[in-house]
Amino acid sequence: MDRGHRETSSPITLLAILVGACVAVSIGGCGSPRASGPYSTQSAEARDPRKADELNARAADVIDRDPQQAEALLREALTADIYHGPAHNNLGTLYLAQGKLYEAASEFEWARKLLPGHPDPRMNLALTLESAGRTDEALATYETALEVYPQHLPSMQALARLRVRSGMTGDRTRELLQQVAFKSEDAQWRDWARVQLAKEDL
């Protein structure tokens, strides 16, 4: 999980959970009715963005060691302001880590709409789709993350990994692998990309 999530306005990304392998769960098994807070329309007067931002920051501080408390804080944040994009995204990361793909996708959709210029909700939604085995949709959604932020390295890494895993070669895969090989600060990612580039047909 991205260790930069303690900034109050920063969404969390979950690329780390998929470095080795996708989360092996099915979206069909987590389509239970929503229980993630009172998501009703709020008037401008009823919203409290400052309180939501503070609660989101508190949740980010405890999300690694106490997910249950973090979830409660994020739900409270969204009760204060249903339109707080980072809180939706961060709640989605908790659901994704728990294998609750339906709930995670819903939260990332909220965050994607509320944070139109931020790649993280799109990348997290793509991770969710990938975990559900919806490869084509995941590939397309990773590409949308790069459309809003062309140099977003985590999205490049995730997209390159999924294209290689899906047997997709050609210029686009080669371009992504080159970016990862030369730009990643993680030696594991760099080595992986270089190995893939050295393989036949890449």
pLDDT in tens, the chain (202 residues): 343 344 334 455 444 434 333 332 222 233 333 344 446 566 666 899 999 999 999 999 999 999 999 999 999 999 999 999 999 999 999 999 999 999 999 999 999 999 999 999 999 999 999 999 999 999 999 999 999 999 999 999 999 999 999 999 999 999 999 999 999 999 999 999 999 999 866 5
> Would you say the pTM of this structure is higher than 0.85?
no
**Long-range contacts of range 169-172, CB-CB < 8 Å, 24 or more positions apart?**
169/201, 169/202
